[in-house]
A and B are shown apart, each in its own frame.
Chain A
Amino acid sequence: MRSRIRENLIRVVLTVVAFSSLVFLVGIVLVLFREGLPIFQKTGLAHFIFGRDWYPTYDPPSFGTLPLMAASFLVTVGAMVIAIPIGVASAITISQILPGRVRGIVKPVVELLAGVPSVVYGLFGMQILAPLVMNVFGLPTGLTALTASIILGIMALPTVVSIAEDALSAVPGTYREASYALGATRWETISRVLVPAASSGIVTASLLGMGRAIGETMTVLMVAGGAAVVPTSFLQPVRPMTATIAAEMGEAPVGGSHYHALFAIAIVLFVVTLAFNMVADGFTRRFQRKVAGGR
């Protein structure tokens, strides 16, 4: 009897504990909306999204976030131009070309790359890459969207590589054998059979890499330059959403319009990354069904 009570108690405790992640997620949503929505009494939704002027400390202030969103978009696209081709090619190399023993060494090394703290990437970008960019392009400053894109691209690589590699390795061996039996070379098998079969997994890898790049804070804070203007080129300083929040939250008086506006930016950021995760999740499920059906 005592043991049954104990069993049930443990079950209840574990159930409650298991809800913690969901509680935190809901808590984050509630806090963001509670602290972010008041800004829309001060400024219209249309102005918040399409306004080209981010002057939070002027009198009267202007809370147009278009420059910030455009900056986030620009550096993320730039990062993906670097991370997706290099990442997918690396994944193909690791899963299909390298002999098993080398793969056993390379995979953990790629995982280590994922563990490097973002502030260290930021320091590297600021002190070593930025001067290089400045000299190569003859710019007044090396802290530009391009510099941020390069560093973000490197940071997104491990995510892209490891997820794409998992997808390629999950393609059933029968696919490969059937392709060889038809006389295809190894490359033809990789490019026309394995990569198409793993395509939804590769899309997932790219989306999660993108999600990582959009949400990355310290790197863009240190490297992107911080100018809140709608960017027209990659060689310009920009101020992505995450950098804006990190740079200004310290000075924004709690409960003021600026404070609310920064939380509203966080809502945008949260919704965008949530959407990326959901879509990536959908692709993962599609991939699992496809691979299971092939067995």
Chain B
Amino acid sequence: MRGAEDRAITGGRMVPRGAGAPGAPVGTRPAEAEAGVRRQRRQRRQTGMFALMIAALVIALGFLALLVGFVAARGISVINWEFITQMPRNAMTEGGILPAILGTFYLVVGAMVMATPLGVGSAIFLTEYARQGPVVRAIRIGVNNLAGVPSVVFGLFGLAVFVKMFGFGVSILSGALTLGIVVLPTIIRASEEAILAVPASYREASLALGATKWQTVRYAVLPSAMPGILTGCILGVGRVAGETAPIMFTAATFFTARLPGSIFEEVQALPYHIYALVTEGTHPEAQVPIAFGTALVLLALVLGVDLAAIILRSRYEKTR
């Protein structure tokens, strides 16, 4: 296909030079020359527009570079071993962010424990068991629209249901359940894609050997789809770790004097910690650098996780 394109381009460029080819009727020459000028103009126009399009992409990528660059530059100065292994001291103006790192870890683990079985199960049902019809359509509407719900609305849902109605209070449990719902559509979509990519011949071979439906899914389909499902879950981890609004009223707190002892306690979390450091407290000049340091830790965590998922996916696509 590339070849066809390249031929078309050179074709476009060659024609004007051949305009005065011998044997062409004399009377058409001025018209052909004009056509040549027009072609050149079209070619120049193409060069200009391509430059504009490429400039747009450079701007888009420039934003990422600028963002990461600034956060890294302002954050790196406060990061050292103590910063990630110590408790905060002196009303958040000194010390480390260990409780926030651990809090985020607990929330992510809790959310994934809830969302992975539900998500993978949903994907298996949608791809392997369900027949097209109103049931599947309804479930799909559920998945698609859940993915579009604003994150703060999840927070309100968590507040009304987990914190108040179930009485879990502002706690790791409430936050993890809320985040589990946030990440569910991501996991379902990634798992579905991975399962659909498994060739039909795997299933046919398994069924032909006398395996039941579930045995086929369990021993033929899932192992082959596993890297794709794993990629989806890893991307989900990245998403959950960075979410702030869903945990604002369900789990997060600005300050805890000690590390959380049970899932019914409130926690500090990296994203909320960043927000709190720049909007609360009384020593902005000491808190803002810590906020940038925390942001750098979070960014490294999330981008590292995403990068791992992308590398895993590209490896897996190559082996296919």
Q: What residues make up the interface of A, taking CB atoms closer than 8 Å to B? A: 3, 6-7, 10-11, 13-15, 17-28, 31-32, 34-35, 85-87, 89-90, 92-94, 97, 100, 106, 108-113, 115-124, 126-128, 154, 157, 161, 173, 176-177, 180-181, 183, 185-188, 191, 208, 211, 214-218, 221-222, 242, 245-246, 249-250, 254, 262-263, 266, 269-270, 273-274, 276-278, 281
Interface of chain A: mostly helix, strand, loop or mixed: helix
A183→B70 CA distance, assembly (Å): 47
Given A25-B142, A246-B245, verify A185-B57 contact (CB < 8 Å). no
Q: Which chain B positions have C-beta within 8 A of A20?
A: 118, 122, 184
Tell me if A115 and B245 are in contact (CB < 8 A).
no
Is residue B197 contacting chain A, with contact meaning CB distance below 8 A? Answer: no
Interface string of B109-141 (1 = CB under 8 A from A): 000000001100110111001100000001101
Tell me if B148 and A14 are in contact (CB < 8 A).
no
Nearest CB of chain B from residue A252's CB, rounded to whole Å: 10
Given A92-B53, A112-B306, A274-B145, verify A21-B242 contact (CB < 8 Å). no
A110→B143 CA distance, assembly (Å): 24
Tell me if B122 and A18 are in contact (CB < 8 A).
yes
Q: Which chain B positions have C-beta within 8 A of A106?
A: 57, 61
A111→B313 CA distance, assembly (Å): 13
Q: What residues make up the interface of B, taking CB atoms closer than 8 Å to A? A: 1-2, 4-5, 8-9, 11-12, 42-43, 45-46, 49-50, 52-57, 59-61, 63-64, 67, 70-71, 74, 117-118, 121-122, 124-126, 129-130, 138-139, 141-157, 159-161, 164, 181, 184-185, 188, 212-214, 235, 238-239, 241-245, 248-249, 271-272, 274-275, 278-279, 288, 291-292, 295, 298-299, 302-303, 306-307, 310, 314
Given A22-B142, A188-B42, A245-B152, verify A117-B310 contact (CB < 8 Å). no
Partner of A120, one of B46, B71, B144: B71
A191→B48 CA distance, assembly (Å): 13
A31→B161 CA distance, assembly (Å): 8
Tell me if B248 and A119 are in contact (CB < 8 A).
no
Given A21-B122, A28-B149, A269-B153, verify A124-B71 contact (CB < 8 Å). yes
Q: Which chain A positions have C-beta within 8 A of B243?
A: 117
Given A115-B238, A274-B145, verify A17-B152 contact (CB < 8 Å). no
Q: Which chain A positions have C-beta within 8 A of B295?
A: 119-120, 123
A76→B214 CA distance, assembly (Å): 47
Q: Which chain B positions have C-beta within 8 A of A242?
A: 150, 152, 245
Nearest CB of chain B from residue A283's CB, rounded to whole Å: 13
Q: Which 5 A-B pairs have the closest CB atoms?
A: A117-B242, A215-B150, A22-B142, A180-B8, A89-B56
A3→B212 CA distance, assembly (Å): 8
Tell me if A185 and B310 are in contact (CB < 8 A).
no
Q: Which chain B positions have C-beta within 8 A of A269?
A: 150, 152-153
A128→B63 CA distance, assembly (Å): 13
Partner of B244, one of A11, A27, A119: A119
Q: Which chain B positions have C-beta within 8 A of A157?
A: 60, 63
Q: What are 17 contact pairs spanning A and B, CB under 8 A?
A: A17-B118, A19-B139, A20-B184, A21-B146, A35-B160, A85-B56, A106-B57, A112-B307, A113-B61, A116-B67, A118-B151, A119-B275, A127-B74, A191-B49, A218-B275, A222-B278, A245-B156
Nearest CB of chain B from residue A6's CB, rounded to whole Å: 7
Q: Which chain A positions have C-beta within 8 A of B61?
A: 106, 109-110, 113
Nearest CB of chain A from residue B255's CB, rounded to whole Å: 14
Given A17-B117, A266-B156, verify A250-B60 contact (CB < 8 Å). no
A177→B246 CA distance, assembly (Å): 49
Q: Which chain A positions have C-beta within 8 A of B138?
A: 22
A191: nearest residue on chain B (CB-CB)?
A: B49
Nearest CB of chain B from residue A133's CB, rounded to whole Å: 15
A176: nearest residue on chain B (CB-CB)?
A: B5
Tell me if A185 and B46 are in contact (CB < 8 A).
yes
Q: Which chain B positions have C-beta within 8 A of A191?
A: 49
A217→B156 CA distance, assembly (Å): 12
Q: Which chain B positions have C-beta within 8 A of A262?
A: 156
Partner of B50, one of A19, A187, A221: A187
Given A120-B295, A185-B12, verify A94-B57 contact (CB < 8 Å). yes
Sample of 17 more A-B contacts, CB < 8 Å, known A31-B160, A266-B156: A23-B142, A35-B160, A89-B53, A97-B50, A110-B60, A117-B241, A119-B274, A119-B295, A120-B67, A123-B274, A161-B60, A176-B5, A183-B11, A185-B12, A208-B148, A276-B148, A277-B148
Nearest CB of chain B from residue A219's CB, rounded to whole Å: 10
Nearest CB of chain B from residue A249's CB, rounded to whole Å: 5
Q: Which chain B positions have C-beta within 8 A of A19?
A: 139, 142
A31→B118 CA distance, assembly (Å): 21
Nearest CB of chain A from residue B113's CB, rounded to whole Å: 14
Nearest CB of chain B from residue A62's CB, rounded to whole Å: 22
Tell me if A89 and B184 are in contact (CB < 8 A).
no
A123→B181 CA distance, assembly (Å): 26
